[in-house]
Chain A
């Protein structure tokens, strides 16, 4: 209620619809809404991810030259897609925190980092497992692989900075600045890595580009699995952000206790 008065005074120009959207950045409203949305998100996740993976694993033909190993793309490709998109989402929420100071936004970025790093690790591991039968090696300094390793390092730095700072607002400010600057350098690294190892591999030999040549038999369950991973991310993000909001509330209650005692 109090938040709405502030919003009205500062954001009238953006129109009512925008206004209504921003109000969900209030922690209390967010908790109420996310509590209602969560079961639906879980349901959507289950009805896309489970059939997508089962279809992909058991009801697609074995590829002639790869054998069964090709089926790892149903985990590898969605997790890679998520790993990148989660960083982009963190960039957006960090900017929202820096510009509009919505607490939920900062906490959502913190919550997303943990999921993002997990997706990156899954992507790297499944890539290595798949790379062994396909290329005869677990690791190659392919531009794509290297980019994901660098992305992993950026996630690690971002999370370490969150963990190191006690004051939650200070941590939110500094990690947001790091996320913005880091995004620029991550993008630069992507180009640098392409430049660094051009010509050694004949373009990207695995991952997304390949799907354009893949027949629909493989493509359709893959799309379903990617959508399923997207919903999985939404579910995990909501759960983790709710945890962070509760942790922050605990922090606020304890601070208030100390103030009353003092």
Chain B
């Protein structure tokens, strides 16, 4: 299992743009939004949590097809499926690798992009905490979507259509928790709901995703 994690991380680094691409996309989103809505600080700081969350979600989506597609094409997935590691474990490890390469860097960088969006200083920690709790769910849900579409030739667009609706609850609770926290209200409920979605996704979705992979490998 560890070997698979190390391999996936190594592949992401060597393929170039493993960490960089998602972050660059995130930076571009944070740059483009002020051009779109204007430079007024109060508007920007008000919409910052939402923009950062949507940006993180889209950056996550960009790299989802890498989770299984390359391994499917070069035959590794067949070999992994017949290896001693259970397929559920393979799915979970690959989602973890995706999170380490995408979700974690975004979480760490989000406060800096928050500064670009004129976020006030208490907002930094709220963005950080909500993304830290929420991005694992994004990776796991994304792995499920990737498993559904792995056998398809033009799966990318279809996968977005399947995955984005599944992201809605995480996005709502995540952005809501950040907004409330910044405004000084209690954010316990949305935080707990989001943590629950993350925990539930990690516990259950590997089974659904591996079922989908088995169907696609037949």
Contacts and interface: CB of A to CB of B under 8 A. Distances in A.
Direct A–B touching in the complex (beta carbon < 8 Å)?
A: yes
Interface of A: 150, 153-154, 156-157, 160-161, 164-165, 170, 173-174, 177-178, 180-182, 185-186, 188-189, 191-193, 195-196
29 contacts: A150-B168, A153-B161, A153-B165, A160-B158, A161-B149, A164-B149, A164-B152, A164-B154, A173-B215, A174-B212, A174-B215, A174-B216, A177-B208, A177-B212, A177-B215, A181-B205, A182-B165, A185-B141, A185-B166, A185-B169, A186-B165, A188-B197, A189-B168, A191-B193, A192-B168, A195-B173, A195-B176, A195-B189, A196-B176
A181 B167 CA distance: 12
B203 interface: no
B172 interface: yes
B169 A192 contact: yes
A177 B211 contact: yes
A105 to B, nearest CB: 17
Given A177-B148, A177-B215, A185-B166, 14 more contacts: A150-B168, A170-B216, A173-B212, A174-B215, A177-B211, A180-B208, A182-B165, A182-B166, A185-B169, A188-B197, A192-B172, A193-B168, A195-B172, A195-B189
Closest 7 CB pairs of A and B: A188-B169, A192-B172, A192-B169, A153-B165, A173-B215, A157-B162, A189-B168
B202 interface: no
B148 A178 contact: yes
A82 B149 CA distance: 29
Given A160-B158, A192-B173, A150 B215 contact: no
Nearest to B205: A181
Contacts of A150: 165, 168
A155 to B, nearest CB: 10
A230 to B, nearest CB: 27
B215 to A, nearest CB: 4
Q: Which residue among B154, B162, B176, B193 has the maximum number of chain A CB atoms within 10 Å of its CB?
A: B162
B103 interface: no
B164 interface: yes
Q: Name B's interface SS.
A: helix
Contacts of B158: 160-161, 164
Interface in B158-200: 158, 161-162, 164-166, 168-169, 172-173, 176, 189-190, 193, 197
Contacts of B218: 170
A138 to B, nearest CB: 22
Chain B interface size, as a band, is 20 to 34
A165 B162 CA distance: 14
A156 B161 contact: yes
A173 B147 CA distance: 13
A157 B162 CA distance: 5
A165 B141 CA distance: 21
A193 B165 contact: no
A187 to B, nearest CB: 9
Contact of A157 (B161, B172, B173): B161
A186 B151 CA distance: 25
Contacts of A186: 165
Nearest to B218: A170
A160 B212 contact: no
Nearest to B163: A157
Nearest to B168: A189
A157 B172 CA distance: 20
Contact of B164 (A153, A165, A174, A196): A153
Contacts of A181: 144, 166, 205, 208
Given A154-B165, A156-B161, A195 B212 contact: no
Nearest to A181: B208
B14 to A, nearest CB: 31
B1 to A, nearest CB: 24
B215 A178 contact: no
Nearest to A159: B161
